[in-house]
Structure 1
């Protein structure tokens, strides 16, 4: 069975569920809803939604089919009029049975097979149990290939979401080439990776390039600096297609330290997306997947951060080291964009992650592996993690002020030397002494 693309809007009394099903057998369509469940069945499509709050079948709901667009529009009455339903844009989460608990409890344990646990649906005692329970597993579900194991070795050398994966990069070492900056990712300790990443950046930093971008006039760069993000960030149709097809697998139960560290990885990953979005002025380019990886140490060096400032300073360092445009003014603009992405909340973050996920999937050079290791699980996690985790991240980010000195690249000295050189050239006979050559 196929999972159709869908979207949900709401007013004070009703949900409006739009389902795209161009090849549906309209005559055999079944729609039922009650309590926390909504079920749509119309061969070859099957959709079961697990709603965040209760609905009721009081015969005031409606269902219409638009044959021109191949779409069903279903209005569903809310059990409590005026109630606001949270998370209706979190597509993957709506396709999974709702979990109750704390921020920590809402992050689940990976199972190798990725299927729903046997008997999970038996707890529901409403009439929907008679419709399509056998199809519940079919609705989704790409299965995880590796079982996550938490052991001392993984705690010291792990990578991927929650730093619990081992062995994947070793098996593919000859194929993946330079996807990961680490020469021996399997045997590089987690704590050593950010140090190695910083050393690599300092070796690759080109002071002349930085100074030229900082002081030379460039019309395109001026336009990039003036560009403004869209006022609204929403889950797009392309995002919905991607989210509905994410695997149904359980994520590892994270300690409070791991939960915080995973949230910090959002910062440099989303920084890379904000940079790419700005230099392309809202578009995507063939270089976007390269930019996402190169500017994010969480992706390219499998790092783990201790705090938010550490994460964004590392991303800023890379932003003046690797891409085409390397100026501190641009870094500051990207930082503003990053804060705005986080401030706008979960839909904005999910949209940005979907953008990265989609480009890594088609970027070549085995970049899709970073989806399997990190991005897919991060997308699942961010849709379900307690909002307090994201609120804490937003608050910490707002208090961070980037500094040039924090990059460790002597940017202030380079700028001062360049200014002094230009002053000497502009004054008098413009002769530069031997110390300036």
Structure 2
């Protein structure tokens, strides 16, 4: 079945659904409304929408098909007039299946001792009471996992990507020209800690102090990039209207339902921050006009792509010089959705962005601390503007990678799912809160692991020691006899 193009709008009394299904017979269209669920079927199209509130079919409802344009217009009456249906423009959220609630009563019957003496003979009074109490509370008694049992691994492959749901995408990496892959032919078998070691070593090997000093000295070039404002940040956030191309891209996203744990949800927000940073860097350096190098830049700046190493990251040690091992301590997760607010230093979000800063200073054409800081602020403002702006950025990011013959793989294992999850799984208030925290972050240059302050001081000293004009140069020339 084909999911047709569609759009939704509303007024005080009705929801209007416009569906593009050309060359069909109006007599064969089947429409079914069940509370908040609308189902439409006409071969070869099938559409099921889950509205935020209930609608009904009554004498004010209608279905009109225009064979000339190919559009079917459905008008459904709101069960409660005046109620505003939020997020009708987030097509992925409407396409998501309705949430399945847990059963209110236990589905396992606990038999008494009179019914099954053999079963209860081995249970003491305490155990029986715990089971009965758990059953009365929907089986939510506390559980703890044993720390002594090793993780059972049945394959040499290690998962990666969105919620660690993928493997097998780098089996033939030796025959492709994937220049950003830092794991080589071992991408499928390296553990997360080994991936992190490879990433850190690669970043240190690519660090070039002379390149950084040259960009630091070129103030005019950096000032031009920093003065630019992203178009998504110029107009009010309430004015976001998705284009036809964006709506079509949303309809092509995979139909999946995600059930992440609180910690996994927390980590997804952290990974989202690194994606928006990479997108912001490319947008600033190309003035929002992607080039053939944009896919490489984005993939190179995102640790989850180039090294399959998403956050959370361990805080770096405060030391100078090489940083190969400074993130290899076990990560102690923060409480879900806390983002390190009340934790110690360094801030969890600062720690999340340190690899992005390092990569922005080691790989692309422009390597400037001020530019990296500007990208952090851009990412923060995208988040503050909410779900629609973030989704628009991710769709653009996805389109850039989809157009590349090699790097499209990162769209498959990360961005397809992120574009889907941001609509139906992410919370707008959490995105805004996260953005506000990021906008006030202070990332220390010492945390990067390279001597940035020393190099900048050397550039400043050189500038101050240079002659200020040609006259000064002439005065320094030896007199001719």
Counterparts in 2 of 1:186 and 1:219: CA distance versus 1, 3 Å: closer
1:52 maps to which residue? 52
CA–CA distance in structure 2, aligned partners of residues 236 and 425 of structure 1: 53
Tell me the TM-score normalised to structure 1 length: 0.77
Relative contact order (alpha carbons < 8 A, sep ≥ 6): 1 or 2 greater?
A: 1
CA–CA distance in structure 1, aligned partners of residues 62 and 19 of structure 2: 14
**1:4 and 2:4 equivalent?**
yes
CA–CA distance in structure 1, aligned partners of residues 85 and 221 of structure 2: 46
CA–CA distance in structure 1, aligned partners of residues 8 and 41 of structure 2: 17
2:338 maps to which residue? none
2:412 maps to which residue? 372
CA–CA distance in structure 1, aligned partners of residues 101 and 462 of structure 2: 62
**Counterpart pick for 2:374 among 312, 315, 333:** 333
1:274 maps to which residue? 280
SS at match of 2:99: coil
**Counterpart pick for 1:210 among 201, 209, 212:** 212
Q: Give the deviation of 1:76 after TM superposition.
A: 2.4
Q: Give the deviation of 1:348 after TM superposition.
A: 2.0
**1:229 and 2:231 equivalent?**
yes
1:262 maps to which residue? 268
Counterparts in 2 of 1:61 and 1:33: CA distance versus 1, 3 Å: same
CA–CA distance in structure 1, aligned partners of residues 475 and 296 of structure 2: 42
Counterparts in 2 of 1:198 and 1:27: CA distance versus 1, 3 Å: same
Contact residue 37 and residue 48 of structure 1 kept, 8 A: yes
Tell me the TM-score normalised to structure 2 length: 0.70
1:178 maps to which residue? 179
Counterparts in 2 of 1:391 and 1:343: CA distance versus 1, 3 Å: closer
CA–CA distance in structure 2, aligned partners of residues 209 and 163 of structure 1: 36
CA–CA distance in structure 2, aligned partners of residues 407 and 234 of structure 1: 39
Deviations 1:290-344 (A, max 9, x none): 1220111111111132232222221122222222222222222221210111112
1:106 maps to which residue? none
Contact residue 161 and residue 304 of structure 2 kept, 8 A: no
Q: Give the deviation of 1:3 after TM superposition.
A: 1.5
CA–CA distance in structure 2, aligned partners of residues 50 and 266 of structure 1: 26
CA–CA distance in structure 1, aligned partners of residues 401 and 179 of structure 2: 15
CA–CA distance in structure 2, aligned partners of residues 199 and 48 of structure 1: 49
**Counterpart pick for 1:201 among 200, 203, 221:** 203
CA–CA distance in structure 1, aligned partners of residues 177 and 84 of structure 2: 47
CA–CA distance in structure 1, aligned partners of residues 265 and 156 of structure 2: 14
CA–CA distance in structure 1, aligned partners of residues 64 and 446 of structure 2: 61
Q: Give the deviation of 1:100 after TM superposition.
A: 4.5
CA–CA distance in structure 2, aligned partners of residues 431 and 376 of structure 1: 65
1:97 maps to which residue? 97
Rg: which structure is higher?
2
1:411 maps to which residue? 452
1:129 maps to which residue? none
Counterparts in 2 of 1:244 and 1:273: CA distance versus 1, 3 Å: same
Unaligned runs of 5+ in 2: 103-150, 313-347, 477-481
Deviations 1:242-284 (A, max 9, x none): 2212222344x43332222222111111111122222232333
Report matched runs for 1:293-332 at 5 Å: 293-306=299-312, 307-332=348-373
SS at match of 1:47: strand
Q: Give the deviation of 1:289 after TM superposition.
A: 1.5
SS at match of 2:170: helix
Contact residue 236 and residue 351 of structure 1 kept, 8 A: no
Q: Give the deviation of 1:385 after TM superposition.
A: 1.7
SS at match of 2:200: helix
How large is the Cα RMSD of the aligned pairs?
3.2
Counterparts in 2 of 1:385 and 1:155: CA distance versus 1, 3 Å: farther
Q: Give the deviation of 1:221 after TM superposition.
A: 5.9
Q: Which moved more, 1:275-284 or 1:48-57?
A: 275-284
SS at match of 1:283: coil
2:255 maps to which residue? 248
Contact residue 269 and residue 299 of structure 1 kept, 8 A: no
Deviations 1:208-260 (A, max 9, x none): 33232233254696156333433244433222212212222344x43332222
Contact residue 156 and residue 190 of structure 1 kept, 8 A: no
